[in-house]
Amino acid sequence: MSRPDIPVFSLYGEAPATAEDRFLHVELIEDRSSLVDWRIRPHQHGDLVQFLAIREGGGRVQADQRTWTFDGPTLILVPAGAVHGFAFARGTIGWVVTLSDRILRGLAQRDPAFAVLAREPACLDMAGQGQAFAAVLAAADGILGELRGQGAGHRAAAEGHMLLLLAAMLRVARPPEAMSTAAGGRSGQVALVAAFRALVERHYRSHRPLDAYLTELRTSSSTLRAACLAVTGRPAIGLIQDRLMTEAKRLILYSGQTIAAVAYELGFEDPAYFSRFFNKQSGEAPRVWRRRLMAEWPVADTASLEPPDPLASPIADT
């Protein structure tokens, strides 16, 4: 669920819609960005994952509470629901790949390693990746060519390139030793954690007891706890709390709501209890946290409840 204050799009500038299970779209960065002065204002997609493969150029990316400055070659990962925006240098060359998060979740059920591609925002420097990142660019361009060409079997061919793209991104986004560790005996735990995260995504606002998750997963508390600790370093209840905190921070920064309104939207019956929860998780009261984030942003505007726009300052032409 998203607040109307936070722009929600299907693709940027297009009306929001529930994505089809097999939704797949690719465009060049210049196709859309050049029409809006190379600036994509902070927004979110409810059920779409985006990957940006930057070959040349640069800019800044804001994703939730983080801002990165980048120069190509760069790979940017934007999970579903993350509030994100971009300021590109004019003439930046790259591809924007958008797909239904259901595609990635389904793939992660077969190979849990793929879950890392849509877990949290990331901006990854690809300098030195050479041929490995060239495979990412080639696969993205292959999807684009098939979708634009509309030849016989173009959809199947595009999905084939998509699988190549996801595999190529996994290889550059994740260290080989981490992949071998997951493959060497932890794949069952990774799959269990992925299934648990999917349930948390659906139910975190309702504050379901952990037993309800255990029943649906058909597992025990000790098994789930061990899996969560092995895969993420956090216990199961910690992952639920983390998801609540992610959404709380998004709403506090971007929605313009009062702290009490944010608390009610996240299913807390008592705003004071929400403030104590937030303080315990972050070490700061919600209002203090918001003031600090706004003060630390590259462009500060403490007179407004709206977060300052870190993408407002100009980017030099390439």
What pLDDT digit, counting tens, does each position of 108-138 carry?
877 777 878 877 889 999 998 889 999 999 9
| Other C-beta atoms lying within 10 Å of the C-beta of residue 128 | 8
Q: How far is CA 248 from CA 197, 200, 262, 278, in A?
A: 17, 15, 7, 8
* Bigger pLDDT: 83 vs 214: 214
Say yes or no: do domains 24-175 and 184-296 share a fold. no
* Share above pLDDT 90 across residues of the chain, in percent, rounded to a whole number: 42
Fold of 184-296: Arc Repressor Mutant, subunit A (1.10.10)
Count of positions (residues) in the chain = 318
Q: Give the pLDDT confidence score for residue 186 in this predicted structure.
A: 63
Q: Quote the pLDDT of residue 213.
A: 95
**pLDDT: which is higher, 189 or 55:** 55
Each residue's pLDDT tens digit, 135-156: 999 999 999 998 888 778 888 8
* Alpha carbon 3 to its chain's center: 17
pLDDT exceeds 80 at position 50? yes
Fold entry, domain 24-175: Jelly Rolls (2.60.120)
Which ranges constitute the DSSP H helices of the chain? Answer: 29-33, 101-110, 131-149, 154-173, 176-183, 187-203, 210-217, 221-232, 236-254, 259-265, 271-282, 286-296
- What does the pLDDT read at residue 280? 94
- What residue spans define the domains of the chain? 24-175, 184-296
Average pLDDT, the chain: 81
Q: At what angle do helices 271-282 and 286-296 cross, to 10 degrees?
A: 50
Taking the CA atoms of the chain, what radius of gyration do you get in angstroms?
Answer: 20
Q: Tokens 């016989």: give the residue.
A: 152
CA 79 from centroid of its chain's CA atoms: 2
312: confidence class by pLDDT, cuts 50, 70, 90:
low
What is the rounded distance in angstroms from the CA atom of residue 101 to the CA atom of residue 200?
Answer: 15
Phi and psi at 308, nearest 5°, equal -65, 155
